[in-house]
Structure 1
Amino acid sequence: MSTGHDDLDAWKRQRTVELAFELADSGRYENFTDIAYALQFERGMATAQALIDDPDMRRLLNERCGDAREKLAPPPEPSIVEAEPSPVVEAVVESSNDHAELPQPAHFERAPSFLRRALSVVWRSGVKPVSAGDLNSAAS
């Protein structure tokens, strides 16, 4: 009856190797040692390590573990070079109405025609230009 026992041993070994490959390919295990531990203590296969413990199997399981972890690893983030913020330069516009005056006849020539005609009428009517000084001295 040794053939029945040999068949059972062959089946156990085949099943252990298949499970070891599944665990290695899952990406959850670091190496052969982790897989042997998982088979023995998590799967209840007391003889698992003895069935898969040879140099070629160790190497193969370690390679499969590494390959599976690489596939599961998130892709590297693209390197983003953050530019230094440009200094904000604010333009300071100094303005006051102290120098305000009515346009002179020479300015009319550059103005659009409807505006030029309107200002020409005002200019010819003799309206005296108002200066800022006149506004400041007005009685309140």
Structure 2
Amino acid sequence: MGSEIQAKPPALVRERRQLDKKDIEQAHSLQVRAGLRGAAVWGFVGSLGVYAAHHLSPSFRRQTLAFKAFLAMSAASAGLVFAAEHALQHFEYEKRTHDNLIRNRAMRELGQRGIVASEREIEKWQEEQVQRELGLRRVAASSPP
């Protein structure tokens, strides 16, 4: 009984495709821009809040300058993190939606041809689409207007 072979459970979730270098760089630049914008906006809002509290509340006025700066910088840091994360999630959603549309179209067209839509077949289909588009562009460029 000690030599039982344990079978690996079937993978229920398809492995996610890795982003290519261009997508990673685009996501990074989006995050940087959104993070800086979020830090600026929320840093300004935090500074306004500190300024208003300083002028409206005697107990807040007695707080140290370091604590007031800490509050303003906390708002800026939170703005940076939340804005950058929101931008990244939006980018990933758009990328995933686009990839799923392509995948669904490929599966439909390959199914009409009687081909099982494996990853390799979908990649071949995408290459065919690129070559077909390039051919159409060449024909359009070479034909007189």
Q: Which has the higher contact order (CA 8 A, sep 6+)?
A: 2
TM range (shorter): under 0.3
Question: Which protein is richer in helix relative to its size?
Answer: 2
The structure having more radius of gyration, on CA atoms, is 1
Q: TM-score when scaled to structure 1?
A: 0.25
Q: TM-score when scaled to structure 2?
A: 0.24
